[in-house]
């Protein structure tokens, strides 16, 4: 069972995944929690290149290819072995991040970005994806009040994040079976309960 979580900046994804992870372990499932970009040594190195605030001249296609390369390495090294071992895999971001950020917000095209990712993943898609939907101004104000140091993508202006959200909503319509849109403007416990119910029903 391969489950991914998507959302804009400050959507609460990371907290939600951690709590779901603990909850599933308590229920006796074997679970792997991981994240993109990163999650393996080489992928983390690629992540540092992508998110480095000094790399402002990075070309958008380079960015898309680096995310796909990082995804590939993490997939073969971490995700596929865990799935083969029968684990439930919870992954913070996957292919849909590239479709929304590079495909829509960077304007490279959903189809084009899907194609390079098809090559990178050999068509491995999640069984379930939760997109935690939140207005960017709410998400970004949460980040501002946290300790987190902004990365290269956090520095993009408000309009970029609005387009990311529009992208996600568009992609969710393209894959209605796989992607569940979750209202992120509610207490985390309520969101977790809703997601947990879907997971338990599907496992
Ligand atoms: P991260 O710190 O993991 O963000 P978050 O905590 O919001 O998940 O940084 C990942 C950044 O990279 C985030 O801004 C989204 C972006 N991203 C892409 O643009 N394309 C991708 O394919 C992925 C996986 C992430």
pLDDT tens-place string over residues 30-86 = 999 999 988 899 999 999 999 999 999 999 999 999 999 999 999 999 999 999 999
* Residue-level pLDDT at 23: 97
- At 147, is the pLDDT very low, low, confident or very high (cuts 50, 70, 90)? confident
Q: Which residues line ligand 1 (CB under 6 A)?
A: 9, 13-14, 36-37, 51, 67, 92-93, 97-98, 101-102, 151, 153
Q: Is the pLDDT of residue 153 over 90?
A: no
**Residue 104 dihedral angles phi and psi, to the nearest 5°:** -95, -60
Domain containing residue 166: 2-202
| Residue having the nearest C-alpha atom to atom 2 of ligand 1 | 151
3-state secondary structure 48-103: HHHHCCCCCCCCHHHHHHHHHHHHHHHHHHHHHHHHHCCCEEEEECCHHHHHHHHH
Between the CA of 97 and the centroid of ligand 1 the distance, in Å, is 7
For the CA of 11, the closest atom of ligand 1 is: 7
pLDDT (tens digit per residue) in 154-191: 888 779 999 999 999 999 999 999 999 999 999 999 99
pLDDT, residue 106, reads: 97
Q: Rounded to an integer, what distance in angstroms lies between the CA atom of residue 1 and that of residue 185?
A: 27
Q: Of 2 and 146, which is predicted with more confidence?
A: 2
Q: How many domains does the chain have?
A: 1
**Nearest ligand 1 atom, CA 68:** 22
Q: Can you give the pLDDT at residue 122?
A: 98
The token duo for 122 is 């050999």
Instruction: Please tell me the predicted confidence (pLDDT) of residue 22.
Output: 98
- Ligand 1 atom at minimum distance from 70 CA: 24
pLDDT for res 43: 95
Average confidence score pLDDT of the chain: 95
CATH number at residue 99: 3.40.50.300
- Over residues 120-139, the pLDDT tens digits come to 999 999 999 999 999 999 99
> Does the pLDDT at position 148 exceed 90?
no
């Amino acid at each position: 069972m391969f489950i991914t979580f998507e959302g804009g900046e400050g959507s609460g994804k990371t907290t939600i995944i951690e709590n779901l992870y603990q909850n599933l372990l308590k229920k006796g499932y074997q679970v792997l929690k991981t994240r993109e970009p990163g999650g393996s040594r080489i992928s983390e190195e690629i992540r540092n290149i992508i998110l480095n605030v000094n790399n402002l001249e990075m070309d958008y296609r380079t960015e898309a290819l680096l995310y796909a390369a990082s995804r590939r390495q993490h997939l073969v090294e971490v995700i596929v072995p865990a799935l083969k071992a029968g684990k439930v895999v919870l992954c913070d971001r996957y292919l849909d991040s590239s479709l929304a950020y590079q495909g829509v917000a960077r304007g490279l095209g959903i189809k084009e970005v899907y194609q390079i990712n098809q090559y990178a993943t050999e068509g491995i898609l999640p069984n379930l994806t939760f997109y935690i939907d939140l207005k960017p101004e709410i998400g970004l104000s949460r980040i501002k009040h946290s300790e987190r140091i902004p990365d290269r993508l956090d520095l993009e202006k408000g309009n970029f994040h609005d387009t990311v959200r529009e992208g996600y909503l568009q992609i969710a319509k393209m894959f209605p079976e796989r992607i569940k849109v979750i209202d992120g403007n509610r207490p985390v416990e309520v969101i977790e309960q809703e997601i947990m119910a879907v997971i338990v029903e599907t496992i």
